[in-house]
Amino acid sequence: MYEIYGNDGLLVTEFCRRYNCSVELIIDEINQFGTIHPNKTGNGILGNLVERRADIGFGGLSSWHGPLKYLSFSKPIQRDSVTCLTPKPRNASLRTVPIFGPSIDTKDDLAQSDLTWWQTHEAWVFSLILSENPTIKKLVSNFRSGSPSVLQELADQGNVAFAIGRLNKDHLLLGEWFTARNIHEYQVMREDLYEEYEISMATKTWPLMEQFDTLTMRTEEATIRYYQELNAIYESSDYDVQTAATNSRLQEPYTPHALNKDDLLGGFFIVCLGSIVAVIVFAIELSPIKTKSSK
């Protein structure tokens, strides 16, 4: 059983309400977005369209490379971007031994960090694979895909980054692997990886294309999309998790304060380690065992 919700789902249900049509979902969980083969067959969303099993396709269809001459595109539903949640930086002070690396804020920072970044499908890098930019090529090589259970385990460990969607009205499209337990270990990059229009696709002969385009544009012009997006986000994402991710770049202002034992712990650790090494060296020097010098 499937439920229709989210930005695309709201648009479909409103369209059918206006034009007295019904919705029949065709789901391909294995192939998801799909592939079109040279013999005009395919799977996933695109395959269902090419083989005329579906009238219109939704689902994060952004940049697609291949024979799309059998399809046409509706006007953009919304303009979204992709960014990353990375390992949250910590203060470099006596309390952090060894000192942690710098904050990851940009595409260059993410590439130089050599962190792998994850999502459930390779479609998250389709918009980057044709780039000749060395930084982008490095990011593509560091991308990994895995099942939600794998991403859940990685998210709890906190040693990798995760691709997330930043929707048109600045809400974040988070995965179910982010929970109240682990979300505070991450922060959103300041710079997005890329930005694209999210579109819907239909066959050229679909007779309701113009009506669907009109509804899409009027919904956007009336600013209804903001409230639809807000409702969709909190239907599929925990409020506390969404709030923590959105505010992950906010930090309390630094104010001077008296040092306590936690602030000095790192310094004492270094002093103790140095003292232990010095005692060991001194003991060796006093040892009765002497090495014979070569003549």
| CATH code, 32 | 3.40.190
Tell me which residue of 168, 144, 287, 139 sits closest to 232, measured CA to CA: 168
In a domain, 291, yes or no: no
In a domain, 144, yes or no: yes
Percent of the chain with pLDDT over 90: 10
Let me know: does 136 contact 128? Beta carbons within 8 Å.
yes
Q: Is 263 helix (H, G, I), strand (E, B) or coil?
A: helix
More confident residue, 93 or 121: 121
Q: How far, in whole angstroms, is CA 173 from its chain's centroid?
A: 8
More confident residue, 145 or 4: 145
Q: Please give the residue range of the domain that contains residue 162.
A: 6-246
Beta bridge partners of 187: 86
In a domain, 176, yes or no: yes
Q: Give the tokens for residue 66.
A: 């291949």
In a domain, 253, yes or no: no
Let me know: does 66 contact 130? Beta carbons within 8 Å.
no
Domain count, the chain: 1
Average pLDDT, the chain: 79
Q: For residue 9, what are the CA distances in angstroms to 16, 77, 140, 255, 283?
A: 11, 12, 31, 48, 75
Beta bridge partners of 84: 163
In a domain, 263, yes or no: no
The one-letter amino acid code at 171 reads: H
First to last CA, the chain: 89
In a domain, 277, yes or no: no
In a domain, 165, yes or no: yes
More confident residue, 221 or 147: 147
Please state the pTM of the whole predicted model: 0.72
In a domain, 251, yes or no: no
